[in-house]
Amino acid sequence: MLILGVESSCDETGIALYDSEAGLLGHALHSQVAMHAEYGGVVPELASRDHIRRVVPLLQAALAQAGRSLAEVDAVAYTRGPGLSGALLVGCAFAEALALALDKPTIPVHHLEGHLLSPLLSADPPVFPFIALLVSGGHTQLMRVTGVGQYELLGETLDDAAGEAFDKSAKLLGLPYPGGALLSQLAERGDPARYSLPRPMLHSGDLNFSFSGLKTAVLTLVREQVEPLGDDFRADAARAFQEAIVEVLVKKSLKALKQTGLKRLVVAGGVGANRQLRAMLDDEAKRKRFRVHYPELAFCTDNGAMIALAGCLRLQAGASTKPAGAFSVQPRWPLIAPGSGAC
């Protein structure tokens, strides 16, 4: 079974081909970061227009890489939400129209489910059940995952997502959009002993998070400085921020493992690329004897491969496809319906 995956929820256009037997055969990605950087953040209208420009060339590139033709595609999976409505509509309309022309069904996919399952694309994939720490630009959640479509929310952020806190703090330190990865590079040469920032909700007794106060703590540090900010200050403040957020993410993940008795942790979403987070989790995994899995770096942030994979796994788990043609997107869409424990 060959699944074509289409991702367009925010500022990356991704197209991929995933085969149920042979795995990922081809994927192509275009990031709009350079285009939005000029404005200091994503401009939704520009994002939609750029997705339109990119989808067809990316489809051609993915097909060429896979050595397959469109006629061989069995179903088209695409991100239905959550995300920017205009951006979602481009991928959705493209996928539905293509499937209609090919006379093949479609599989609307939840973007977070794509992230959640993305570590299964790696050479050493996790087996169910596991705890998932989902840390993206828009979400921070701890989940118990017992199978495809079987997700139980254990805790989540009450305000800013981890990636959002990285990006906002980066902006306060004068880094260009999207600053998360740049902040973490800066933090690597920062002095961890110079500043100590609060660890929000570390001892809250539950598995929830709150990161907006941490961003305010960075703002307070910045305000105490005389402009322009010096290089050493920026590196030390970045390090203090990263030390705090990583400690909270790691400790809450350990708590989720302990609480559920599970021995496997899967980290997914853009912040999963963070080196300090990975190093601390690897260290704890050795000491406390659990396994930790990450998506390959290329699949941490948004991509089409995770959507093709999620579509394929959904089909294999018995989910039904839908006839191509009629469609809608869901810019706001909880992965776990309130009170249901399932997606």
Question: Collapsing DSSP states into helix, strand and coil, what is residue 195?
Answer: coil
Give the residue with the Cβ less far from ligand KG4, 161 or 256.
Answer: 161
Quote the least distance from Cβ 2 to Zn ion, whole Å.
24
Q: What element of type H or E holds 78?
A: strand 75-81
Give the residue with the Cβ less far from ligand KG4, 54 or 104.
Answer: 54
Give the residue with the Cβ less far from Zn ion, 203 or 332.
Answer: 332
Quote the least distance from Cβ 54 to ligand KG4, whole Å.
16
Quote the least distance from Cβ 90 to Zn ion, whole Å.
16
Quote the least distance from Cβ 270 to ligand KG4, whole Å.
2
Residue 98 to residue 86: CA distance in whole angstroms: 18
Quote the least distance from Cβ 1 to ligand KG4, whole Å.
26
Chain residue at closest Cβ approach to Zn ion: 302
Residue 319 zone, left/alpha/beta (φ > 0; ψ -120 to 50; rest): beta
Tokens representing 99? 């499937």
The DSSP output letter for 226 is P
Alpha helix segments (H runs only) across the chain: 33-37, 44-66, 85-102, 111-117, 162-172, 180-188, 212-223, 231-260, 275-288, 305-316
Residue 173 to residue 184: CA distance in whole angstroms: 12
Give the residues lining the site for ligand KG4 (CB under 6 A). Answer: 115, 136-138, 163, 166-167, 178, 180-181, 184, 269-271, 273-274, 301-302
Residue 293 to residue 268: CA distance in whole angstroms: 9
Give the residue with the Cβ less far from ligand KG4, 126 or 180.
Answer: 180
Residue 6 to residue 24: CA distance in whole angstroms: 14
Give the residue with the Cβ less far from ligand KG4, 79 or 321.
Answer: 79
What, of ligand KG4, Zn ion, none, does residue 155 touch, CB below 5 to 8 Å by kind? none
Q: What does the longest C-alpha to C-alpha distance in the chain come to? A: 64
What, of Zn ion, ligand KG4, none, does residue 160 touch, CB below 5 to 8 Å by kind? none
What, of ligand KG4, Zn ion, none, does residue 273 touch, CB below 5 to 8 Å by kind? ligand KG4
Report whether the peptide linkage leading into residue 178 is cis, meaning its omega lies within 30 degrees of zero. Answer: yes
What, of Zn ion, ligand KG4, none, does residue 95 touch, CB below 5 to 8 Å by kind? none
Quote the least distance from Cβ 151 to ligand KG4, whole Å.
16
Give the residue with the Cβ less far from ligand KG4, 6 or 324.
Answer: 6
Quote the least distance from Cβ 211 to ligand KG4, whole Å.
11
Give the residue with the Cβ less far from Zn ion, 2 or 271.
Answer: 271
What, of Zn ion, ligand KG4, none, does residue 166 touch, CB below 5 to 8 Å by kind? ligand KG4
Q: How far apart are the first and last CA of the chain?
A: 24
Quote the least distance from Cβ 205 to Zn ion, whole Å.
29
Give the residues lining the site for Zn ion (CB under 5 A). Answer: 136, 302
The neighbouring-strand residues paired with 27 are 16
Residue 272 to residue 283: CA distance in whole angstroms: 15
Residue 99 to residue 325: CA distance in whole angstroms: 8
Q: What contacts 68, CB < 8 A, 6 or more positions away?
A: 2, 17, 25, 26
Closest CA to 218 of 241, 201, 202, 236: 241
Give the residue with the Cβ less far from ligand KG4, 68 or 278.
Answer: 278
